Protein backbone atom coordinates (compact mmCIF):
# COMPACT_ATOMS: atom_id res chain seq x y z
CA UNK A 1 0.00 0.00 0.00
CA UNK A 2 1.16 3.51 -0.81
CA UNK A 3 0.11 6.63 1.07
CA UNK A 4 0.44 10.08 -0.45
CA UNK A 5 -0.02 13.17 1.74
CA UNK A 6 -0.70 16.17 -0.50
CA UNK A 7 1.62 18.97 0.61
CA UNK A 8 0.23 22.17 -0.89
CA UNK A 9 -0.56 25.58 0.65
CA UNK A 10 -4.14 25.63 -0.71
CA UNK A 11 -4.79 22.16 0.72
CA UNK A 12 -3.49 23.26 4.13
CA UNK A 13 -5.53 26.47 4.00
CA UNK A 14 -8.83 24.74 3.21
CA UNK A 15 -8.15 21.97 5.74
CA UNK A 16 -7.57 24.55 8.48
CA UNK A 17 -11.01 26.08 7.87
CA UNK A 18 -12.61 22.62 7.82
CA UNK A 19 -11.06 21.87 11.21
CA UNK A 20 -12.46 25.06 12.75
CA UNK A 21 -15.56 24.21 14.81
CA UNK A 22 -17.04 27.61 13.92
CA UNK A 23 -17.32 26.65 10.24
CA UNK A 24 -21.00 26.13 9.39
CA UNK A 25 -22.38 23.27 7.28
CA UNK A 26 -22.78 25.17 3.98
CA UNK A 27 -19.21 26.47 4.20
CA UNK A 28 -17.95 23.04 5.27
CA UNK A 29 -19.61 21.37 2.26
CA UNK A 30 -18.19 23.95 -0.15
CA UNK A 31 -14.65 23.70 1.21
CA UNK A 32 -14.75 19.90 1.35
CA UNK A 33 -15.83 19.93 -2.29
CA UNK A 34 -12.93 22.21 -3.23
CA UNK A 35 -10.44 20.18 -1.20
CA UNK A 36 -11.54 16.92 -2.85
CA UNK A 37 -10.87 18.41 -6.28
CA UNK A 38 -7.33 19.30 -5.19
CA UNK A 39 -6.78 15.80 -3.80
CA UNK A 40 -8.31 14.25 -6.92
CA UNK A 41 -5.79 16.12 -9.05
CA UNK A 42 -2.99 14.29 -7.24
CA UNK A 43 -4.88 10.99 -7.08
CA UNK A 44 -5.38 10.85 -10.85
CA UNK A 45 -1.78 11.38 -11.89
CA UNK A 46 -1.66 7.74 -13.00
CA UNK A 47 -5.12 7.58 -14.56
CA UNK A 48 -4.99 5.40 -17.67
CA UNK A 49 -5.09 7.19 -21.01
CA UNK A 50 -4.85 6.32 -24.69
CA UNK A 51 -3.58 8.26 -27.67
CA UNK A 52 -6.07 10.00 -29.95
CA UNK A 53 -5.68 11.92 -33.21
CA UNK A 54 -7.56 15.22 -33.46
CA UNK A 55 -7.77 18.34 -35.61
CA UNK A 56 -7.05 21.64 -33.88
CA UNK A 57 -8.16 24.88 -35.58
CA UNK A 58 -4.61 25.08 -36.95
CA UNK A 59 -3.46 21.54 -37.75
CA UNK A 60 -3.71 17.84 -37.06
CA UNK A 61 -2.22 16.79 -33.76
CA UNK A 62 -2.12 13.96 -31.24
CA UNK A 63 -3.49 14.05 -27.70
CA UNK A 64 -4.76 11.70 -25.03
CA UNK A 65 -8.14 10.71 -23.63
CA UNK A 66 -9.20 8.50 -20.75
CA UNK A 67 -8.99 4.82 -21.59
CA UNK A 68 -11.83 2.33 -21.55
CA UNK A 69 -13.11 0.91 -19.35
CA UNK A 70 -13.68 4.29 -17.75
CA UNK A 71 -12.64 4.92 -14.13
CA UNK A 72 -15.21 4.17 -11.44
CA UNK A 73 -15.79 6.57 -8.54
CA UNK A 74 -17.31 4.97 -5.42
CA UNK A 75 -18.36 7.19 -2.49
CA UNK A 76 -18.96 5.37 0.80
CA UNK A 77 -22.33 6.53 2.10
CA UNK A 78 -23.18 8.83 3.68
CA UNK A 79 -20.27 11.19 4.20
CA UNK A 80 -18.49 10.08 1.02
CA UNK A 81 -21.40 11.46 -0.95
CA UNK A 82 -20.28 14.97 0.00
CA UNK A 83 -17.03 14.32 -1.86
CA UNK A 84 -18.60 13.14 -5.10
CA UNK A 85 -19.10 16.47 -6.88
CA UNK A 86 -15.52 17.52 -6.24
CA UNK A 87 -14.28 14.26 -7.75
CA UNK A 88 -16.47 14.08 -10.85
CA UNK A 89 -15.71 17.72 -11.61
CA UNK A 90 -12.21 16.51 -12.44
CA UNK A 91 -13.35 13.19 -13.98
CA UNK A 92 -16.67 14.06 -15.66
CA UNK A 93 -16.64 10.94 -17.85
CA UNK A 94 -16.09 8.55 -14.95
CA UNK A 95 -18.85 6.18 -13.93
CA UNK A 96 -20.20 6.32 -10.38
CA UNK A 97 -21.04 3.47 -8.04
CA UNK A 98 -22.25 3.57 -4.45
CA UNK A 99 -21.34 1.57 -1.37
CA UNK A 100 -23.31 1.88 1.86
CA UNK A 101 -21.50 0.62 4.95
CA UNK A 102 -22.29 0.72 8.66
CA UNK A 103 -20.47 -0.52 11.73
CA UNK A 104 -22.08 -3.43 13.57
CA UNK A 105 -22.09 -2.23 17.18
CA UNK A 106 -21.84 -5.82 18.48
CA UNK A 107 -18.97 -7.07 16.32
CA UNK A 108 -17.53 -3.57 15.69
CA UNK A 109 -16.98 -4.63 12.07
CA UNK A 110 -18.15 -2.78 8.98
CA UNK A 111 -21.10 -4.33 7.18
CA UNK A 112 -22.46 -3.53 3.74
CA UNK A 113 -26.12 -2.48 3.60
CA UNK A 114 -26.30 -1.10 0.05
CA UNK A 115 -24.37 -1.65 -3.16
CA UNK A 116 -24.66 -0.17 -6.63
CA UNK A 117 -21.63 -1.21 -8.66
CA UNK A 118 -20.77 -3.40 -11.65
CA UNK A 119 -20.28 -7.05 -10.72
CA UNK A 120 -17.07 -7.18 -12.75
CA UNK A 121 -14.46 -4.49 -12.11
CA UNK A 122 -11.66 -6.23 -14.01
CA UNK A 123 -9.34 -3.70 -15.59
CA UNK A 124 -11.07 -0.75 -13.90
CA UNK A 125 -9.32 1.94 -11.94
CA UNK A 126 -11.47 2.61 -8.89
CA UNK A 127 -11.46 5.74 -6.72
CA UNK A 128 -13.05 5.30 -3.29
CA UNK A 129 -14.26 8.40 -1.43
CA UNK A 130 -14.38 8.41 2.37
CA UNK A 131 -13.65 11.60 4.33
CA UNK A 132 -12.04 9.99 7.37
CA UNK A 133 -9.58 7.10 7.55
CA UNK A 134 -9.96 6.58 11.30
CA UNK A 135 -9.85 2.97 12.52
CA UNK A 136 -9.53 1.72 8.94
CA UNK A 137 -12.22 -0.95 9.27
CA UNK A 138 -14.72 0.56 6.85
CA UNK A 139 -12.17 1.34 4.16
CA UNK A 140 -10.60 -2.13 4.41
CA UNK A 141 -14.03 -3.77 4.03
CA UNK A 142 -14.89 -1.51 1.08
CA UNK A 143 -11.63 -2.20 -0.73
CA UNK A 144 -11.98 -5.94 -0.18
CA UNK A 145 -15.41 -5.74 -1.81
CA UNK A 146 -13.87 -3.99 -4.81
CA UNK A 147 -11.01 -6.47 -5.07
CA UNK A 148 -13.49 -9.35 -4.88
CA UNK A 149 -15.18 -7.88 -7.97
CA UNK A 150 -11.89 -7.88 -9.87
CA UNK A 151 -10.54 -4.36 -9.29
CA UNK A 152 -6.76 -4.31 -9.63
CA UNK A 153 -6.04 -0.60 -9.08
CA UNK A 154 -7.77 1.12 -6.14
CA UNK A 155 -7.15 4.63 -4.83
CA UNK A 156 -8.81 5.85 -1.63
CA UNK A 157 -9.24 9.62 -1.28
CA UNK A 158 -9.65 10.80 2.32
CA UNK A 159 -9.67 14.29 3.78
CA UNK A 160 -7.86 13.05 6.89
CA UNK A 161 -6.16 9.89 8.11
CA UNK A 162 -5.09 8.59 11.52
CA UNK A 163 -1.85 6.63 11.97
CA UNK A 164 -3.83 3.75 13.48
CA UNK A 165 -6.03 3.51 10.39
CA UNK A 166 -3.05 3.63 8.06
CA UNK A 167 -1.42 0.82 10.06
CA UNK A 168 -4.57 -1.33 9.86
CA UNK A 169 -4.79 -0.85 6.10
CA UNK A 170 -1.13 -1.69 5.60
CA UNK A 171 -1.57 -4.87 7.62
CA UNK A 172 -4.94 -6.01 6.30
CA UNK A 173 -4.31 -5.10 2.66
CA UNK A 174 -0.68 -6.17 2.40
CA UNK A 175 0.18 -6.99 -1.19
CA UNK A 176 -2.96 -5.29 -2.51
CA UNK A 177 -2.55 -2.55 -5.16
CA UNK A 178 -3.98 0.30 -3.07
CA UNK A 179 -3.03 3.98 -2.79
CA UNK A 180 -4.33 6.38 -0.14
CA UNK A 181 -4.35 10.09 -0.98
CA UNK A 182 -5.04 12.44 1.93
CA UNK A 183 -4.59 16.04 3.05
CA UNK A 184 -3.04 15.02 6.39
CA UNK A 185 -2.08 12.11 8.61
CA UNK A 186 -3.05 13.47 12.02
CA UNK A 187 -1.70 12.66 15.49
CA UNK A 188 -3.87 9.79 16.71
CA UNK A 189 -7.32 8.44 17.50
CA UNK A 190 -8.95 9.32 20.81
CA UNK A 191 -10.84 6.86 23.03
CA UNK A 192 -14.04 7.49 21.04
CA UNK A 193 -12.42 6.68 17.72
CA UNK A 194 -12.24 10.29 16.50
CA UNK A 195 -9.16 11.59 14.72
CA UNK A 196 -7.14 14.12 16.76
CA UNK A 197 -7.00 17.04 16.04
CA UNK A 198 -9.31 16.00 13.21
CA UNK A 199 -12.43 17.89 12.23
CA UNK A 200 -15.19 16.02 14.07
CA UNK A 201 -17.84 13.87 12.40
CA UNK A 202 -17.58 14.72 8.69
CA UNK A 203 -21.12 13.52 7.90
CA UNK A 204 -22.69 15.56 10.68
CA UNK A 205 -20.71 18.65 9.74
CA UNK A 206 -21.67 18.35 6.08
CA UNK A 207 -25.34 17.60 6.54
CA UNK A 208 -26.20 18.33 10.18
CA UNK A 209 -27.70 15.70 12.47
CA UNK A 210 -31.05 14.01 11.96
CA UNK A 211 -32.53 12.01 14.80
134 annotated as ligand-binding: yes
155 annotated as ligand-binding: no
HSE-up (13 A, CA, CB side) for residue 41: 11
46 annotated as ligand-binding: no
112 annotated as ligand-binding: no
97 annotated as ligand-binding: no
118 annotated as ligand-binding: no
Collapse the DSSP code of 99 into the 3-class scheme (helix H, G, I; strand E, B; otherwise coil) and give the result: strand
Collapse the DSSP code of 7 into the 3-class scheme (helix H, G, I; strand E, B; otherwise coil) and give the result: coil
Tell me how far apart the alpha carbons of residues 22 and 12 are, in angstroms, rounded to a whole number: 17
Tell me the H-state helices in the chain: 9-19, 25-43, 84-88, 137-148, 163-172, 202-207
20 annotated as ligand-binding: no
188 annotated as ligand-binding: no
141 annotated as ligand-binding: no
Q: Got the DSSP string for 167-201?
A: HHHHHHTTTS-EEEEES-B-SEE-TTS-EES--S-
200 annotated as ligand-binding: yes
Determine the Cα angle at 148 with ends 168 and 69, to 5°: 110
135 annotated as ligand-binding: yes
Q: What is the largest CA-CA distance in the chain?
A: 66
Collapse the DSSP code of 165 into the 3-class scheme (helix H, G, I; strand E, B; otherwise coil) and give the result: helix
201 annotated as ligand-binding: yes
7 annotated as ligand-binding: no
| Binding-site sequence positions | 78, 103, 130-138, 195, 200-202
| Binding-site sequence positions for 5-phospho-alpha-D-ribose 1-diphosphate | 78, 103, 130-138, 201
| Binding-site sequence positions for uracil | 195, 200-202
Amino acid sequence: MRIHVVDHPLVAHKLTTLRDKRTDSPTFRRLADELVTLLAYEATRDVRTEQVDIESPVTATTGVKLSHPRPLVVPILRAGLGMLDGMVRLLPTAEVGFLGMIRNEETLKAETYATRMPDDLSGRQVYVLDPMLATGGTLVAAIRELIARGADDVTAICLLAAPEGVEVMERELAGTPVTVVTASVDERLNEDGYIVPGLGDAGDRMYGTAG
